[in-house]
Structure 1
Amino acid sequence: MRLARLLIFCLGVLILVTDARPVFAQAWDMIEEQQDRQIRERGGGNTGLIDMLFGGSRRERSRRTVEPGGTGSRDAVTATPRITLIEKDAEAGVVVVIGDTLATQIAIGLTELYTDEPSVVVEDRSDGASGLVRTDRRNWFDAVPEILATPRLAAVVIVVGLNDGQDLRGDDGPVPFGTDAWMNEYRSRVSGLALALSTRAVPIIWVGLPPVRPAQLGERLQLINRLLREGTLGTAATYVDVFTAFADANGHYTRQGPDMDGQNRNMRSSDGIHFTSAGRVRFAHFVERFIPRGANEQRLAALGIQAAVYQGSALSEDGIGPIVSLEAAPGSAIALDVDPDEVLPRDENAVARLVEGQALPTLAGRADDFSWPPQAALPARPAQHPANEFDGL
């Protein structure tokens, strides 16, 4: 009898220990539900003791989402960023962004970067499914006259290639991706578009493709990046390589990276291709430095900047654009909005020390004097005291 009572007591303690937490949780939920119901009946107002102590009910806290680009699991890539636009100047320069879905990403980032800049307007003319391989969706060559006719055009930003890892349609049938014929034709199209856009004296900024998580797609995009770089050579376009900026130490895809404040955050969305809010801003940051603020053709002319202009877009037989000596001002001079004539002359001493790495001359007897045999040390200078009105008294 005593043993049976002991077993019943132990069983009761075990049930109490294992069920206590769910029971308490249920009781807590009941309290929260009752308070939430009272709040709804009152139509707002005081949130009760639980909210006052813990800042809102558990149910409300569970519905809070992580800001896009944070370290949480939700990226909300498709969410439109909250950007409060200020009134732009009537003569604000227009930055036209063209290309595929990554161009859309960079246009959003540029819009956010120029939120407080009244002298720059960003126009997103991208087409997410477009490219240079297939022209049935969007033919960017046909769009060139419309782009160049944009009033107050300040710059053209191009991001294209994400959809181009496929066979070309040739006159004699499909041209397989990666073959010599495919690479020559693709390089030719890059040069042709860059040259066609260069007929107006505005910066042409061609942005390379970032690393992506899908392995097969990533390999194809690396080849396309090489062709983009080669195709823009000999044109007025500036090629901006962003691959290493979004890669890890081994040159592979990584989701995280430093934001504009240096904080480590998620730069890429869950699909491994697009960007989070923080990533879009950083993506656009690499382009912003090449865009003159409030610059258009008249503004550039006022600064004395002669931009390279090409008449026509004829290509050589090998499909490469003509390699010419550009007389345009360096990008740093344009971005800093200074007259190139104000650039300081070449300092041979600075070049020898900072570029060629030559050591500074040593003084005999100083700690960094390693000459052999040792040089004769200079005699010590006598101590000098400043003169005062009491000297000679």
Structure 2
Amino acid sequence: MKFYKKHCSLFMIVVFMMAFLQPDYSHAQNIFDKIFGRKEQHVTAPAPPTKRKIIRKQKPTQPFVQSPSKSADAKRILILGDFVASAAFDGLDRLYADNKDIVVLRAINGSSGIVRDDYYNWAVMIDKIITNEKPDIIIMTLGANDNQAIQPAKNPIIQSDKEWTIIYQKRLDHLTEKLKNTKKPWLWMGQPSFKNNQLNQNIIALNYIYKTTVEATGGRFVDIWDGFIDNEGKFALSGYDASGKTARLRANDGINFTSVGKQKLAFYLDKKLEPILNASFEETKKNVSKPQGQVFINLPHNITHIAPISIIDMAQDEKELLGQLHLNHSEKIEFEHKKNHDKPYGRADNFYIKP
């Protein structure tokens, strides 16, 4: 019985010890951890991976080309109008960038037109603009924003009404008279085709009004319509550029222009401007070379008396009368012979010397 109790007690101790020493699998611990407590392990967070530097090859930069400074007496071309006029300015300014004798100026209101004179009245503003800019040539284009009703004091007048055309024509007449009164050469650039079919039909009618009115007032009408349509006469996003190659001319909205389209606008304008500029340059040359005040012309004349000089001096080509024509040696001999042919050789008043 004692043996049993002894072994039973031993068994209980072993079981108790095994329970005490049962490992905690949530943490890998040893006996020292159980007795003295487990130390907190500070796990250092791994360093973020270093980003690999991506070396991108840079495109070679285009060398900056300084445009030549414009001459003090450069011809001043002023472009007035809406957003189409703005596109024309961009193209023309680029076209003449390297020409020091031509400078392109602008006075643009992109949303302006003839209909909404309450928003911006060109007929009122143009005198001040001309005074400030002092142009030699004026280019104007309007109409892209005029596909809308005229808003008088009472009811709106839609574009299909006859009264709309009468009012529009009257305003256009007033504006073109203003341009005429500047006494400067002036051009009116017509509108191109647009993607909107209804707008296109109205623009065709407006271009006809512009052409007849401008030419009747003494201006030059620049027709650009054919440059922005296809073979069927419809709006075209692409077409021939100024060099004859097919290129994109218009933006996706069917309203604005690409850089090539702007150059094409300048191409049409340049053809009309060329004779005007040439005539202006010729006039400038005449004014520069034209002498001021009374002009005295010194022509060779018969010699009646000279101071005594040596024969050696008389034979030298450099010894000439002031104002005498510059002749070579043989021409001088012939001139002197003709001048004294009526005087006998050897006479005191005959100064001719045989060579």
What range is the shorter-chain TM-score in? 0.5 to 0.7
Relative to structure 1, is the Cα distance of residues 126 and 151 closer, same or farther in structure 2, using a 3 angstrom cutoff? closer
Counterpart for residue 87 of structure 1: 69
Which one scores higher on RCO, CA 8 angstroms, separation ≥ 6?
Answer: 1
Counterpart amino acid of residue 236 in structure 1: G
Seq. identity, %: 26
Of 122, 141, 153 in structure 2, the residue corresponding to residue 159 of structure 1 is: 141
Deviation at 1:93, TM superposition (A): 1.5
**Structure 1 residue ranges without an equivalent (≥5):** 1-35, 48-55, 61-81, 305-393
Query: Equivalent residue of 2:239, what SS?
Result: strand
Counterpart for residue 109 of structure 2: 127
Query: Equivalent residue of 2:199, what SS?
Result: helix
Deviation at 1:233, TM superposition (A): 3.4
Query: When the two structures are superposed, what TM-score results if normalisation uses the length of structure 1?
Result: 0.54
- Structure 2 residue 265 is matched with structure 1 residue 283: yes
Of 89, 111, 124 in structure 2, the residue corresponding to residue 107 of structure 1 is: 89
Deviation at 1:169, TM superposition (A): 2.3
Counterpart for residue 116 of structure 1: 98
Q: Is the 8 A contact 1:246 1:254 kept in 2?
A: yes
Of 188, 201, 219 in structure 2, the residue corresponding to residue 237 of structure 1 is: 219
Counterpart amino acid of residue 112 in structure 1: R
After superposition, the CA RMSD in angstroms is 3.0
Q: Which has the larger radius of gyration?
A: 2
CA distance in 1, matches of 2:215, 2:160: 20
Relative to structure 1, is the Cα distance of residues 302 and 95 closer, same or farther in structure 2, using a 3 angstrom cutoff? closer
Query: Equivalent residue of 1:122, what SS?
Result: strand
- Structure 2 residue 162 is matched with structure 1 residue 175: no
Q: Is the 8 A contact 2:81 2:112 kept in 1?
A: yes
Q: Is the 8 A contact 1:205 1:240 kept in 2?
A: yes
CA distance in 1, matches of 2:227, 2:65: 25
**Structure 2 residue ranges without an equivalent (≥5):** 1-50, 287-355
Query: Equivalent residue of 1:262, what SS?
Result: coil
Of 235, 250, 254 in structure 2, the residue corresponding to residue 272 of structure 1 is: 254
CA distance in 1, matches of 2:227, 2:155: 38
Deviation at 1:174, TM superposition (A): 2.0
Query: Equivalent residue of 2:216, what SS?
Result: coil
Query: When the two structures are superposed, what TM-score results if normalisation uses the length of structure 2?
Result: 0.60
Counterpart amino acid of residue 169 in structure 2: R
CA distance in 2, matches of 1:303, 1:246: 38
Relative to structure 1, is the Cα distance of residues 39 and 296 closer, same or farther in structure 2, using a 3 angstrom cutoff? same
Size of the aligned set, in residue pairs, is 234
Counterpart amino acid of residue 153 in structure 1: P
Deviation at 1:301, TM superposition (A): 4.9
Deviation at 1:206, TM superposition (A): 0.4
Query: Equivalent residue of 1:232, what SS?
Result: helix
Deviation at 1:262, TM superposition (A): 1.9
Q: Is the 8 A contact 2:227 2:240 kept in 1?
A: no
